[in-house]
Amino acid sequence: MLRSSTSGVYSAVGLQGDRRIERFPRANIRAVLTSETRSQWALVLGASSGFGEACSVALAKAGWNVFGVHLDRKSTQPNADRIVTEIAAAGRKAEFFNVNAADDARRTEVIAAISLSCGQDAPECRVSVVLHSLAFGTLKPFFGEPRENAMSKAQLEMTLDVMGNSLVYWTQDLFFGGLLAPGARIFAMTSAGDHIVWPAYGAVSAAKAALESHVRQLAVELAPHRISVNALRAGVTDTPALRKIPGNEKMIERVLAMHPARRLTTPADVAGALVALCADGAAWVSGNVIGVDGGEDVAGGR
């Protein structure tokens, strides 16, 4: 059941006798409940656009309920609402949280909500898929002129924390909270910017390199618990995040000209790969950076 406060913040509520129990008054939650009783949950960080959006919908169609974390202003909130509706149309549950995924307090609130939703279920009915698809960082050169146009220490640290280190923090909270299902799959979105230099991409490039390092470390430490961890390296994809990169139009033109398939990667390409890697037979795939680019990188994509 949803209740809207005068501030426009939605919170999930329950009923106990005649007394209403507000569960999470501080979290901005969009929730849709369906008649589906089988519980199988995915957590998508960055769920309201690009790869996160496509994967949320694809996972729902493949049988997962979806916890979605996103950060949207009023103007873009309708798109998150539409995704929730699509998940419900697939016959699955959706709980979306409009919060800053890099904020420790908000992360704690979301983890508490996840625990309340599935923490008491059988272990196999908890979170079996996690996707880290956070695309928020500073796009500036290290040596911009004047100095005010150059990357600052605070901006570099923020980008690394949001786009790299937060994978570790979310995984730790899920693991120590007993919320990861046996055989869970964890994925993190990376890009060719991990090894290719693009204008103003230095901080994000460093974050992607750190993210891939975290993937390898997590894969080894979580292997005894039957949890696999991989990074998905998408090809150049026309998403809101790409459109923020200086020179993105030329990047798109260049890839279209050199790609062996003569097209860009799409969010649907990545979503299809992720769902395939969630199959039972893919449990032994772990610790890798997996290219989902149709051969773009090996063909010399820049």
Question: At residue 90, does pLDDT exceed 60?
Answer: yes
Residue 302 lies inside a defined structural domain of this protein: no
> What is residue 3's predicted lDDT score, i.e. its pLDDT?
37
Residue 4 lies inside a defined structural domain of this protein: no
Q: How confident is the model at residue 130 (pLDDT cuts 50, 70, 90)?
A: very high
43-85 pLDDT, tens digit each? 999 999 999 999 999 999 999 999 999 999 898 899 999 999 9
Residue 11 lies inside a defined structural domain of this protein: no
Q: Read off the pLDDT of each residue in 24-51 and give the average, rounded to a whole number.
A: 70
Q: Read off the pLDDT of each residue in 92-117 and give the average, rounded to a whole number.
A: 97
Question: At residue 221, does pLDDT exceed 70?
Answer: yes
Q: How confident is the model at residue 18 (pLDDT cuts 50, 70, 90)?
A: very low
Question: At residue 36, does pLDDT exceed 80?
Answer: no
Question: At residue 22, does pLDDT exceed 60?
Answer: no
> What is residue 264's predicted lDDT score, i.e. its pLDDT?
93
Task: List phi, psi (to 5°) of 250.
Answer: -65, -35
Q: Read off the pLDDT of each residue in 13-18 and give the average, rounded to a whole number.
A: 34
Question: At residue 21, does pLDDT exceed 80?
Answer: no
Q: At what angle do helices 202-222 and 153-160 cross, to 10 degrees?
A: 40
> What is residue 238's predicted lDDT score, i.e. its pLDDT?
86
Structure tokens at 122: 């059988």
- Per the rule left: phi > 0, alpha: psi between -120 and 50, beta: everything else, 92 is beta
Q: How far is CA 47 from CA 50, 70, 136, 178, in A?
A: 8, 5, 13, 23
> What is residue 213's predicted lDDT score, i.e. its pLDDT?
98
Residue 131 lies inside a defined structural domain of this protein: yes
> What is residue 175's predicted lDDT score, i.e. its pLDDT?
98
Number of domains in the chain: 1
> What is residue 12's predicted lDDT score, i.e. its pLDDT?
34
Question: At residue 26, does pLDDT exceed 60?
Answer: no
Identify the CATH number of the domain in which residue 172 sits.
Answer: 3.40.50.720
Question: At residue 33, does pLDDT exceed 60?
Answer: no
pTM, rounded to two decimals: 0.86
Q: Read off the pLDDT of each residue in 173-183 and give the average, rounded to a whole number.
A: 97
Least confident of 10-14, 26-30, 131-135, 239-243: 10-14
Residue 215 to residue 163: CA distance in whole angstroms: 13
Q: Read off the pLDDT of each residue in 173-190 and give the average, rounded to a whole number.
A: 97
Give the residue with greater pLDDT, 170 vs 34.
170
> What is residue 247's predicted lDDT score, i.e. its pLDDT?
78
197-215 pLDDT, tens digit each? 888 888 999 999 999 999 9
Residue 27 lies inside a defined structural domain of this protein: no
Q: What domain range includes position 59?
A: 32-292
Residue 25 lies inside a defined structural domain of this protein: no
Pairing state of beta strands 2-4 and 180-191? Answer: unpaired
Question: At residue 25, does pLDDT exceed 80?
Answer: no
Residue 23 lies inside a defined structural domain of this protein: no
Residue 77 lies inside a defined structural domain of this protein: yes
> What is residue 4's predicted lDDT score, i.e. its pLDDT?
35
Question: At residue 15, does pLDDT exceed 90?
Answer: no
Buried b (16+ CB within 10 A) or exposed e, 156-177: bebbbebbbbbbbebbebbbee
